[in-house]
Structure 1
Amino acid sequence: MRINSEFSTIFISTEIQTILTEIFKELKNRKIFVLVDENTKSNCLPLIYAIDEIKKSEIIEIKSGESNKTINTVEKVWKTLQEKGADRTSLLINLGGGIIGDLGGFAASTFKRGIDFINIPTTLLSQVDASIGGKTGVNFYGLKNEIGVFNHPKYILIDSSFNQTLDDRNILSGWAEMLKHALIFDEKDWLNLINHKIKQTGFKELNQLIARSVNIKNHFVEQDPFEKNIRKALNFGHTFGHAFESFFMSSENEILHGEAIAHGIICEIYLSHKMSNFPIHKMDKIVSYIFNTYKRLELREKDFEKILELIGHDKKSEGLNINLTLLEDIGQIKINQNCKKEDIIETLKWYSNLQYEN
């Protein structure tokens, strides 16, 4: 399946080697670099290594993990590109999950004022979210994606068979972004997803679900590439979610991005009910589904002020206002909703006291 986005050409297929070979015919006579971490080097690189251009490429390996998504790591990538003779015609292939895509996209966008790059996302989360939309960047002093630029890959190659390398937690991390896409777009999409058993879904069917999720995201990105207006719908669940992710980042209970977003959705659905009359019976079903799918977060009242501080640092906030995307109903979005500090604290207390079974 080919999706001709305004900014990138996206392929969703289980024939990734064939597609990549054709792309190299178009992008001939370029020096190729492949960015990996220790996991994608051992688990994913072999799946494309039969291609001559990949065999001849320079492999750049960085350490996995959110704690390595930093300017220091980008400097190491820049240094390797420089030492290995990269020029402005060179091509960087980001083979990995969201961290590889975000960091590699940023490194490519800034090296020699920008070289072409291709994203080959190898996690469900990066296939439906991080590799698409043109956001690149790194964390800075404990804040998610604080430094970065908007720049789109030339191609995005999505193959759900890469997901066979993932454990259940990482599959569910990507599933959370797909749930978010459905909630902001159409109730039929939401019902379709929650009636699927993700762990029992085959690659062909999963490719179809991924394609639908990618098309939903593209719907918003193409209307508003620099997130000035309607694209903010994609931030649903992320104001609380990013704060949760940052809060647990340095603890022994570090959580995955999608896990944080799932619980961010719970909190922002509650605020949607409180501030925008989101139907309570639908809120209950959403909360119940998420709690039965994801392990709940252990939040203590003494943590609330720190989480509030992290929310205040969020890029979606403007001045003294905490800016959220809320829902009036599934598929009915309200962007730029200002929220008071008291509402945030109330929501965190409500979340902490919820009595849904896991």
Structure 2
Amino acid sequence: MPQTITYTTDIRKEVRRLCAEAYDRIFLLTDNTTEQLCRPLLGNIDGLEESIVIKAGDDNKTLEAVSKVWTELQQRKATRHSLLINLGGGMVTDLGGFAASTFKRGIDFINIPTTLLAMVDAAVGGKTGINFNDFKNEIGVFRDAKEVIIDTSFLRSLDSQNLHSGYAEMLKHSLLKDTAMWASHVTFALCKPNFVQLQEMVRQSIEVKRAVVAEDPTEKGIRKALNLGHTFGHALESLAMLQQRTGLHGYFVAWGLICELYLSCSKGFPTDKMRQTVRYIRENYGYFPFSCNDYEHLYQLMLHDKKNVGNVINFTLLRDAGDILIDQHVTKEEVFEAFDFLREG
């Protein structure tokens, strides 16, 4: 069954609807940022427990934080007939989904994403997880939220960096869909966004991901397409974490797209489209500073990617927008050339 997505402009009404359903207890998970900025939009709703609050930031998507959620659920007498509502960005929906999926062998959870990245990526598609030993999303399970509720009015409270971060996933989806969608995304004025236009683009982006996930829920085949930009991106993000450099996930995806579009040109991806996409990313996301001395470490991080089989790195590449190639292999030398292009191109 396709995941239920509800679009709304009245989030309070939707939460009241959830609280009227037959759950014995309904818990709300937030981080300390969304507790301050987003929780007040829900108001006082009968049946909704006081928030479980965790620390904000992807570096807090840890086993320790999951343990805190499990402990709070246990101490507040949650049962298998309870519901967890995850209100926040991708860190909250990833971690909350994993906590709910494993508590008492699984309780229902609802995602209410409050960031662009969470709306178009993390909250949709059934992946849950946490970071472990400095690796991104190393521990997790596939399990759909009972429902995902999208209210794009949350986006107006986002700062520019978080808006940019989420948009990188939308740019990825446009490359997976077709040339028309790609063209609309590489010409969107991200620094001065039209929120009415963005709302429709969000819906379009979610539908791209939903269609892929419905065809391949557990990433045996075409769902690997959604990893475009992520093989390089996750390695860069892991390196930044190890070097204690902060950065938002979508920025690493954008830089990963540069590398993987560069490699895609050898498969026939049009050079002009690659150059236009790279120019858009450079203008909006800047550069990730690293040196040739980091190449070997980055390569080893890529070898650890979950999509790999044995000691071979599996890439998602493109012949063109919408013409997807999964399980592609390139040489180590070509990977290093892509690093060169990212640094200097």
Q: TM-score range by the shorter chain?
A: over 0.9
Matches for 1:1-358 after TM superposition, within 5 Å: 6-25=1-20, 27-54=21-48, 57-274=49-266, 276-354=267-345
Helix, strand or coil: the match of 1:149?
A: coil
Coordinate RMSD, CA, aligned: 1.3
Show CA shifts across 1:209-243 (max 9, x none): 11100000011000000000011111100000111
Of 290-299 and 131-140, deviating more is 290-299
Contact kept in structure 2, 1:125 and 1:173, CA below 8 Å = yes
1:301 maps to amino acid: C
Show CA shifts across 1:115-143 (max 9, x none): 00000001000000000000000001010
Once the two structures are TM-superposed, the CA of residue 280 in structure 1 deviates from its matched residue by 1.0
Q: Distance in 2 between matches of 1:50 and 1:163?
A: 22
Give the TM-score of the pair, scaled to structure 2.
0.97
Helix, strand or coil: the match of 1:196?
A: coil
Once the two structures are TM-superposed, the CA of residue 329 in structure 1 deviates from its matched residue by 0.7
Aligned residues: 345
Give the unaligned 5+ runs of structure 2.
none
Show CA shifts across 1:153-206 (max 9, x none): 011011111122221000000000000000011111111122222344454432
Q: Distance in 2 between matches of 1:353 and 1:127?
A: 32
2:13 maps to amino acid: T
Q: Distance in 1 between matches of 2:175 and 2:134?
A: 29
Identical aligned residues as a percent = 48
Helix, strand or coil: the match of 1:322?
A: coil
Contact kept in structure 2, 1:322 and 1:340, CA below 8 Å = no
Give the unaligned 5+ runs of structure 1.
1-5
2:188 maps to amino acid: H
